[in-house]
Amino acid sequence: MCDRRGARLTGLRRQVLGLILDAKGPTGAYELLDRLRERRGAAAPPTVYRALDFLQEQGLVHRVERLAAFVGCVEAHGHVHEHPAQFLICRTCGHVTEIEDHDLAHALAAAAKRVGFAVTGATIEAEGLCAACAGAASPRTSAAP
């Protein structure tokens, strides 16, 4: 994909992308820096930030602003798709789920248009409880026989 766009996915950029994709959840820049140093030795913060900027520009990662962290956006079969970023963030366990709801994106664009605003990009972050944490917060009662 980068080749088609004329963008150069260097070894370092590929390695940062791999660290993000291998992470169990959203990963901050300094966590990436620490993990990169384990593999490559000396690495400076600007190195990681430049790689992250490139990966965002190419649509390979998203930044979750609420967490100041990054998540991968590469489908399981390796294709990248461009779409509005929508995240559900669990305030208890920190799990982030990315959804792709075109109706939500269209509703935002329509609401913005009503006030004369043209949306050119949007990241929506909603905070709440994931299914597991919601289930743990409200224990089920069992009926007596």
Residue 54 is given by DSSP the state H
3-state helix, strand, coil in the chain (%, to 5): 45, 15, 40
Structure tokens at 3: 């080749």
According to the annotation, is 73 in a ligand binding site?
Answer: no
Cβ within 8 Å of residue 125, ≥6 positions away: 64, 65, 66, 86, 87, 89
Helix extents (H) in 1-143: 2-5, 11-22, 29-40, 45-57, 102-114, 131-137
The size of the chain, in residues, is: 145
Amino acid at 127: E
According to the annotation, is 93 in a ligand binding site?
Answer: yes
Annotated binding site: 90, 93, 130, 133
The annotation places the binding site for Zn(2+) at 90, 93, 130, 133
